[in-house]
Each structure stands twice: as C-alpha cells, then as structure tokens.
Amino acid sequence: MMPENREFLSRFAAAPGLAVSLMLADGTILYANETITRLYGGGTVEEHTGSNLADLYPREWAEEKIALLRRVAETDDRLMIRYIWEGKRIEAQYQR
C-alpha cells in the first residue's frame, strides 16, 4: 500500500465506532483498525495485519467471507451484508 493511501485509510479508520479493514481476495488482512479487532473478539492490530481470516476465525465463517471477497474481486460488485456475530448485529460492506 502506498504511504499516502495508508495515511488516508488511517484517518478514515480513526472515526469513532467505525470498523475498517482492507483485505486481499484470499482473506489476507492488509489493514485492520482497533475497532474491528475489538468487534470480532480481540487481538491486536499487529496480530491481524498480515494474517488470514482462516487463521483467526472459525473456518466456516472465514470461508464464507473469503468467498465474498473473491466475488467482489472478480466482478467488481459492491456488497452489503448483514449477519450476527457473537450476539451483535453487523453490517459490512465489501467493495473493491
């Protein structure tokens, strides 16, 4: 990621309560802010950065999310999904 893009993303991700991550289609996490790590059960930003969803979360859940990431990468679709994670209602947007 280019330094100017990282700076922009960091400012955007600093908005209170906004969970932000940037991932590759294979589920590799390039960027995650503190809000998203807390939302999904803890760990540090450093632990998430460079890890894969499949290494951090339940297999079935990770595979589903990776399939969505691949769909977005292949079709350029923008997806809005809603689901329940540990009793919390989550709205997530996937886009390229």
User: Which CATH number goes with the domain that contains 20?
Assistant: 3.30.450.20
Give the C-alpha separation, 21 to 37, whole Å.
Answer: 9
Q: Tell me which amino acid residue 93 is.
A: Q
* Domain of residue 40, residue span: 3-94
- The pLDDT, as a whole number, for residue 1 is 54
Contact 19, 35 (CB under 8 A): yes
Give the C-alpha separation, 1 to 29, whole Å.
Answer: 12
Q: Tell me which amino acid residue 82 is.
A: R
Instruction: Give the pair of three-digit tokens for residue 9.
Output: 């993303």
Categorize the per-residue pLDDT at 13 as very low, low, confident or very high, splitting at 50, 70 and 90.
confident
pLDDT tens per residue, range 38-92: 888 888 999 999 999 999 999 999 999 999 999 999 999 999 999 898 898 989 9
Q: Tell me which amino acid residue 85 is.
A: W
Residue 29, Cβ density class (10 Å: 0-12 exposed, 13-18 middle, ≥19 buried): buried
**Structurally, how many domains does the chain consist of?**
1
